[in-house]
Amino acid sequence: MGGYTFSELGSIFVMQGFSGLSLFCVYLLMALGLAIIFGQMGVINMAHGEFLTMGAYTTYFMSKLAVDHFPALVGIYFPFAIILGFLIAFGMGYLLEVLLIRHLYKRPLDTLLATWGVSLVLQQVFRSAFGAREVSATLPAWLLGSVKPTETIDIPLNGLFMMGLTLVLSLLVFIFLFRSRWGLKVRATTQNRVMSGGVGINTKKVDRMTFAVGCGIAGVAGAVFTTIASTGPTTGSLYIVDTFLVVVFGGAASLVGTVASAFSIAQAQSVLEFFLTSSIAKVLTLLTVITVIMARPEGLFTIRVRK
């Protein structure tokens, strides 16, 4: 393995593993929202990445506002940026559902085209409004720096922060879907829309809320994303294909599957990339995913019931 000593190799694995974990967090944060929208509602939302971009720009402008006008708040603006990122993406998602998506529930393939169009429009809007250059939020001091457990291992703080947040958000989504009345209604509606109406559930309202919450989570993902990378008009769209891969590989209806698949895809990419080139890493990952999907068409994790 290229003349590395044993302990160097260990460090490389730890650090590449950690950068894989950061990638895993981005995938998972994107995929959580998408798993709800695609997995539960069957809507192929190609504009999902743009909701991430919205959250990222929101954070950027919050940080700019803090730096320019309220220097005292630079240390604490971040949590508010996350909340605002959620609210803006939630609101835009709500609007998109009312104006467009709800007319397309019976035509899943058309949602692909329509939301792809929305994605292109939004990217151009970002470009016109905020410029084509990538921008970076000014991070609070407590997010900078790194932890050095040994001489050769270096673990960045922003990565740790992102991981913590991903964990919290995943838990919240799990509780929302599986432990709340709303989640029950969401799961019932996605299984059988007509019958859900027949037991007294207002399915249109459920659809609107579900879609908006899915988009809101992407907004949070965007806010967190600014801690590890800069934001441009096409930031979100870079991740959309990989995110769909994660959702499909994991099993569209399973949250545990989404986590497992985000983890394995991100780790495989990250560790392979160090030793091979990034395109070969991608090829190997895709080949593995294709093989697994061929053997298990419904993804890694599925709910088994008689048909």
Torsions phi, psi of 146, nearest 5? -150, 165
Nearest CA among 246, 236, 253 for reference residue 47: 236
Nearest CA among 232, 230, 243, 173 for reference residue 26: 243
Q: Among 52-60, 80-88, 241-249, 298-306, which window interacts with another protein (CB under 8 A)?
A: 298-306
Which parts of the chain fold into alpha helices (H)? 6-34, 41, 48-69, 77-99, 108-130, 157-178, 181-191, 193-198, 203-225, 237-250, 255-275, 278-295
- Smallest distance, Å, CB 297 to another protein? 17
Torsions phi, psi of 201, nearest 5? -90, 135
- Smallest distance, Å, CB 248 to another protein? 18
CB of 248 or CB of 252, closer to another protein: 252
- Extract the tokens encoding 236: 């979100």
- Smallest distance, Å, CB 187 to another protein? 6
Q: Tell me which residues in 203-222 interact with another protein (CB under 8 A).
A: 203
Q: Which long-range contacts (CB under 8 A, 24 or more apart) does 186-193 make?
A: 186/36, 186/40, 186/210, 187/40, 190/40, 190/41, 190/42, 193/105
Q: Tell me which residues in 244-283 interact with another protein (CB under 8 A).
A: 253
Q: Tell me which residues in 61-100 interact with another protein (CB under 8 A).
A: none
As a whole number of angstroms, the distance between CA 231 and CA 23 comes to 16
- Smallest distance, Å, CB 109 to another protein? 24
Q: Hunting for tokens 């509780």 — which residue is that?
A: 175
Q: Hunting for tokens 């950690």 — which residue is that?
A: 18
- Smallest distance, Å, CB 307 to another protein? 8
Phi-psi region of 43 (alpha: psi -120 to 50; beta: other; left: phi over 0): beta
CB of 127 or CB of 187, closer to another protein: 187
- Smallest distance, Å, CB 44 to another protein? 21
CB of 188 or CB of 268, closer to another protein: 188
Binding mask 165-204 for another protein (x = CB under 8 A): ----------------x--xx-xx--xx-xxxxxxxxxx-
Binding of residue 121 to another protein (CB under 8 A): no
As a whole number of angstroms, the distance between CA 111 and CA 104 comes to 6
CB of 145 or CB of 198, closer to another protein: 198
- Extract the tokens encoding 33: 């929202």
- Smallest distance, Å, CB 198 to another protein? 4
- Smallest distance, Å, CB 180 to another protein? 11
CB of 1 or CB of 303, closer to another protein: 303
The size of the chain, in residues, is: 307
140 DSSP assignment: -
CB of 124 or CB of 192, closer to another protein: 192
CB of 39 or CB of 49, closer to another protein: 39
CB of 109 or CB of 303, closer to another protein: 303
Which residues of this chain interact with another protein, rule CB under 8 A?
181, 184-185, 187-188, 191-192, 194-203, 253, 303, 305-307
